[in-house]
Amino acid sequence: MIKENFIKLYESSFRENWDLPCYTDYGEDISFTYGEVAEEIARLHLLFKHCSLRRGDKIAIIGKNNTRWCIAYMATITYGAIVVPILQDFNPNDVHHIINHSESVFLFTSDTIWDTLEEEKLTQLRGVFSLTDFRCLHQRDGETIQRFTRGLNDAMFEAYPDGFTKENIEYTTLSNDKVMLLNYTSGTTGFSKGVMLTGNNLAGNVTFGIRTKLLVKGDRVLSFLPLAHAYGCAFDFLTATAVGTHVTLLGKIPSPKILLKAFEEVKPSLIITVPLVIEKIYKNTILPLINKKGMKWALNIPLLDNKIYGQIRKKLIDALGGRFKEIIIGGAAMNPEVEEFFYKIKFPFTIGYGMTECGPLISYAPWNEFVPTSSGRVLDIMEARIYKENPESTLGEIQVRGENVMVGYYKNPEATKEVFTEDGWLRTGDLGTIDGNNNVYIRGRSKSMILSSSGQNIFPEEIETKLNNLPFIIESLVIERNKKLVALVYADYEALDSLGLNNADSLKAIMDENLKNLNNSVASYEKVSQIQLYPTEFEKTPKRSIKRYLYNSIAEE
């Protein structure tokens, strides 16, 4: 059991960092110091008390990353209620289901999302609050919430006649073994399950961040991954708030253009990201540079190449704000070509591994200890093993146990039983290996693995990575059809248009050439029989993995 009490970490942090900047909305004139956040939390606690909320009641939050999203989350856990963060990408039916399934009594939401929800389907909700200014958007018949919120300043004066000070910060005493968070996953299999995370699971991740000095007092972060997802939440928000870091919240879609401008302004001390974001920056910023004729020639000359790589590294570091210790990449597989290039130029990046069920971290190594193609070392508070159904196989399922592992899925004993082995290890569903130094190497998802007619294991993700590096291909999905591999491809139609190549004959010639080059680079049993163009981007989970289950029917055509 982690010694530090999860809730008390924040009681201490708000006191110790009282005057420091805490949360800022990027591009807007909204900013809170740690002291101001503590006061906002106190106001919400008075509201919760007025409504006789009890420990263990559920409070849902849905909306873009912003200051009040963070304050609502902090107010919930420090009161002793259970927070239910919901990804704003979920459709209204999923949101209705999660709010009802979790039995949430309060909802904090953006005004635009509230407009898409049907209040008559949310019968258990007692109150709904705006993430713009905390005003009450809806109350159940018979509630007096709107009247109370209008008089909240008077209630604060009555509770704190001498003004709210750091000495007034006192949060509930709740042991770390209590469930504090329900995180509904949006997996690649299509079923949303409520992951029950305890204070201990959350403290395991946060104290790891504190111990390894990922963030320290006075650091800055730019939070652009959705905070309702475990990865961004654990480090950009929970670790940051526990140590006195200034969090700037980017409430926009993180396109490379928007991100690079924000990095330049915020100059973050640590960057937490998913591969897609960094791969786009590589494609837009670095590739055009190294594909220039003279540059290609110069990179083949010893001594010159190191000098040029140094300049490219500096250009990339400056483009990302120039002040960060490292970039941590997680959430999905990294493109090997990009990884190899970053490693070659000694760029300070590392790749971690985790899952919502571990809140999220399983393995990580600092950038200067990172082993290429790995996903970091298993944390010292976690254990991992490889379970092989076939002892002859070099691969097996990665299974884990330890401080970060969830207690189960909410109101779903069947799914909980299925995901744990009889001796108590969590089945990750990922296939891979672990070396003698505890570095984890992931090959693919067991659910997406295809067994060839000759009995070979085929990992579609590995073929897709090669495909995505070929001309005019943005993304791809390799599926099995009639015992043959077919690649669905979403082409770079914009680039094709600009070159006048977006016509049937040109597209066929380009994709035939891509198919030939792909099949020359894979094993005989991995050869793809045809490329089929797909008209739109593939639908994805919030951590940017393709929802494969949606495309299974295409495989059966």
How crowded is residue 378: how many other Cβ atoms within 10 Å of its Cβ? 24
Mind listing the pLDDT tens digit for each residue in 120-152? 999 999 999 999 999 999 999 999 999 999 999
Q: Are 24 and 67 in contact (CB under 8 A)?
A: yes
C-alpha dist (Å) from residue 336 to 62, 279, 288? 34, 10, 18
Domains, in order of start, for the chain: 6-169+199-249 (3.40.50.980), 254-351 (no CATH), 379-447 (2.30.38.10), 450-555 (3.30.300.30)
Q: pLDDT 10s per residue in the chain (557 long)?
A: 888 999 999 999 999 999 999 999 999 999 999 999 999 999 999 999 999 999 999 999 999 999 999 999 999 999 999 999 998 888 898 899 999 999 999 999 999 999 999 999 999 999 999 999 999 999 999 999 999 999 999 999 999 999 999 999 999 999 999 999 999 986 544 557 999 999 999 999 999 999 999 999 999 999 999 999 999 999 999 999 999 999 999 999 888 899 999 999 999 999 999 888 888 888 888 888 888 777 777 777 877 778 888 989 999 999 999 999 999 999 877 888 899 999 999 999 999 999 999 999 999 999 999 999 999 999 999 999 999 988 877 789 999 999 999 999 999 999 999 999 999 999 999 999 999 999 999 988 777 778 776 566 787 888 998 899 899 999 999 998 888 899 999 999 998 999 999 898 999 999 999 999 999 988 888 899 999 999 999 988 766 778 887 886 665 44
Segment 487-495 long-range contacts (CB within 8 Å, at least 24 positions apart): 487/463, 487/515, 487/518, 487/528, 487/530, 487/531, 487/532, 488/532, 488/533, 488/534, 488/538, 488/551, 488/554, 489/531, 489/532, 489/533, 489/534, 490/533, 490/534, 490/535, 490/536, 490/537, 490/538, 491/533
Query: In angstroms, rounded to a whole number, what is the distance separating the alpha carbons of residues 145 and 135?
Result: 10
pLDDT of res. 287:
84
Determine if the pTM surpasses 0.75: yes
- Within 435-515, strands assigned E span 440-445, 450-451, 457-458, 473-481, 484-491
Query: In angstroms, rounded to a whole number, what is the distance separating the alpha carbons of residues 487 and 485?
Result: 7
Angle formed at CA 268 by CA 267 and CA 270, multiple of 5 degrees = 150
Q: What are phi and psi of 136, to 5 degrees?
A: -85, 120
Q: What is the residue whose two structure tokens read 């705006």? A: 130
Mind listing the pLDDT tens digit for each residue in 169-178? 999 999 999 9
Query: In angstroms, rounded to a whole number, what is the distance separating the alpha carbons of residues 30 and 257?
Result: 23
Mind listing the pLDDT tens digit for each residue in 489-536? 999 999 899 999 989 899 999 999 999 999 998 888 889 999 999 999
